[in-house]
C-alpha cells in the first residue's frame, strides 16, 4: 500500500512544548494509520489527557491512546525495562498494546549505558541520566546491540517496517536540543529536526504539514550556559515557573524559565519548515499579567495578551518562512 502523506509534529524550543497534547489532538481529528517516534528514548516525557484522565509515557508514541498503530522507529533507543513498564501501564489502563510495534533496528539501552550517564554526563551536561548518550555512542561506533539481537523478549512487538496511508510523526525533545543545531555539547544525542523523521522509511516528498510546538515563554531543563539563568533572582520569572508548573515530566527537575525569545523561534521555524505553529500556555500569561518577549535582542513589554499575540503574529508573518497558520492555545484541544 502507498503512503498518502506524512505530518510531523516537532518541538521548536528545548522540549516540553506540549507536543504530546498536539499529537493527541491530531490523532483524534485525523484518520492516521500510524503515529511514529523517530528519535530519542525514554528521556522524553509526554503528558496526555484522555477523557479527562492524565496519562504519561516516555517512549511509546501517543497514537496508542487513540487506537492507532504506534511505531518506535529505527532511530530510537529502547530501554527494555522501561518499555515493558509502559506496556503494562497501558494494559492496566485498558489500551490495546497490540498496536505498539518497534523497529528491529532500534538500539538497546543497557544498564552499562545508564550507569555511565549517571556517573558522568548527568553531572557534566545535566542529562536525564537515562543512558541515551552512551547508547548512541555505541550505535555510531558500530558496537551497539539492536532489538533484532534480543528479539525474543520483543517478539510480540517487532515491526515489519512498512508504512502506508496517513502517517503522523511525533518529535521528541526540541529544535535547540538537536545534536547539530543546539548548544553543543549541552544537547541530546539525536536529531530532533523534522527531516530526520525520514529515517522511518518515507521519502521527504510525502511530508504534508509540519506542526511546530512552542510555549509562549521559554523553559529549559538541564544545563545550558547560554540559556539566561535569571530565574532565581527574578520574581516575575519565578511566578511564571510556579503558575506554569514547570517541572520536568521525566526528572521532576525545576525548569529554568525566561521570556519567549522570538529571534530563536524565527530560526527554528525557518530551518524546521514549520507550516502550522502552535503557541501554547497563553493562559499562564493571562493569569500572571506578564506580557514580555525578546526580539532583536531587546526585551519588549505589552499591556495585554491581545497586544502580545498581535505583535508576535506581525513579526512572525513578516519573516521569510513557510508558515501558513499561527494558533494560540491555552488548553490544546482546538487546533
Q: Give catalytic residue positions.
A: 16, 46
DSSP state letter for 180: T
Single out the residue of 13, 35, 64, 177 in contact with ligand IMP (rule: CB under 6 A). 177
Does 170 help bind ligand IMP (rule: CB under 6 A)? no
The residue range among 70-78, 139-147, 216-224, 311-319 that interacts with ligand IMP, by the rule CB under 6 A, is 216-224
Q: What region, left, alpha or beta, does residue 68 occupy, with left being phi > 0 and alpha being psi -120 to 50 degrees?
A: beta
Residue 45 binds ligand IMP, judged by CB under 6 A: yes
**Neighbour-count burial for 202-218, b at 16+ CB within 10 Å, e otherwise:** beeeebebbbbbbbbbb
Q: Does 74 bind Mg ion (CB under 5 A)?
A: no
Q: Which of 254, 179, 182 is nearest to 224 (CA)?
A: 182
Shortest Cβ 128–ligand IMP spacing (Å): 3
- Is 61 a residue that touches ligand IMP (CB under 6 A)? no
323 near ligand IMP, judged by CB under 6 A: no
Q: Is 132 in the site for ligand IMP (CB under 6 A)?
A: yes
Place of cell 529549559: 220
Per DSSP (E only), the strands in the chain are 3-11, 34-37, 46-50, 53-57, 69-72, 77-79, 100-102, 107-109, 165-170, 207-215, 217-220, 256-261, 276-280, 292-295, 298-301, 325-328
- Residue with grid cell 494494559, as numbered in its chain: 91
282 binds ligand IMP (CB under 6 A): no
The residue number whose beta carbon is nearest to ligand IMP equals 222
- Contact range with Mg ion by CB under 5 A, out of 45-53, 65-73, 88-96, 219-227: 45-53
Least Å distance between CB 253 and ligand IMP?
A: 8
The region of 38-46, 95-103, 141-149, 295-303 touching ligand IMP under the rule CB under 6 A is 38-46
Cell numbers linked to 193: 529536526
Query: Considering only 22-30, 124-132, 191-199, 285-293, which stretch makes contact with ligand IMP by CB under 6 A?
Result: 124-132
45 sits near Mg ion (criterion: CB under 5 A): yes
Distances (CA, A) of 323 to 3, 17, 24, 270: 24, 18, 22, 8
Contact residues: ligand IMP, CB under 6 A: 14-16, 43-45, 125-128, 130, 132-133, 173, 177, 186, 188-189, 221-223
Amino acid at each position: 500500500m502507498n503512503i498518502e502523506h506524512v505530518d510531523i509534529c516537532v518541538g521548536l524550543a528545548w522540549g516540553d512544548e506540549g507536543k504530546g497534547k498536539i499529537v493527541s489532538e491530531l490523532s483524534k481529528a485525523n484518520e492516521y494509520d500510524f503515529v511514529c517516534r523517530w528519535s530519542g528514548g525514554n528521556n522524553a516525557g509526554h503528558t496526555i489527557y484522555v477523557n479527562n484522565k492524565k496519562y504519561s509515557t516516555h517512549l511509546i508514541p501517543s497514537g496508542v491512546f487513540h487506537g492507532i498503530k504506534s511505531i518506535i522507529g529505527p532511530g530510537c533507543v529502547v530501554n527494555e525495562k522501561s518499555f515493558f513498564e509502559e506496556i503494562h501501564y497501558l494494559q492496566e489502563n485498558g489500551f490495546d498494546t497490540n498496536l505498539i510495534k518497534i523497529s528491529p533496528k532500534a538500539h538497546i539501552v543497557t544498564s552499562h549505558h545508564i550507569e555511565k550517564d549517571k556517573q558522568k554526563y548527568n553531572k557534566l551536561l545535566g542529562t536525564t541520566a537515562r543512558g541515551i548518550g552512551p547508547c548512541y555512542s555505541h550505535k555510531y561506533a558500530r558496537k551497539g546491540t539492536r532489538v533484532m539481537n534480543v528479539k525474543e523478549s520483543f517478539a510480540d512487538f517487532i515491526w515489519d517496517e512498512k508504512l502506508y496511508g496517513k502517517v503522523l510523526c511525533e518529535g521528541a525533545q526540541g529544535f535547540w536540543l538537536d545534536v547539530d543545531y543546539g548548544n553543543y555539547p549541552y544537547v541530546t544525542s539525536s536529531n530532533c529536526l523534522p527531516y530526520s523523521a525520514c529515517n522511518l522509511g518515507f521519502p521527504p516528498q510525502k511530508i504534508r504539514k509540519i506542526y511546530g510546538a512552542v510555549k509562549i515563554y521559554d523553559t529549559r531543563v538541564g544545563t545550558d550556559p547560554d540559556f539566561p539563568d535569571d530565574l532565581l533572582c527574578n520574581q516575575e520569572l519565578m511566578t511564571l515557573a510556579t503558575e506554569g508548573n514547570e517541572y520536568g515530566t521525566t526528572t521532576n527537575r525545576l525548569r529554568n524559565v525566561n521570556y519567549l525569545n522570538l529571534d530563536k523561534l524565527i530560526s527554528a521555524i525557518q530551518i524546521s519548515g514549520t507550516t502550522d505553529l502552535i503557541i501554547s500556555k497563553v493562559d499562564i500569561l493571562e493569569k500572571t499579567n506578564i506580557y514580555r518577549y525578546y526580539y532583536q535582542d531587546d526585551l519588549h513589554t505589552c499591556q495585554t495578551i491581545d497586544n502580545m499575540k498581535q505583535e508576535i503574529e506581525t513579526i512572525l508573518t513578516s519573516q521569510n518562512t513557510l508558515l501558513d497558520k499561527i494558533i494560540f492555545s491555552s488548553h490544546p484541544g482546538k487546533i
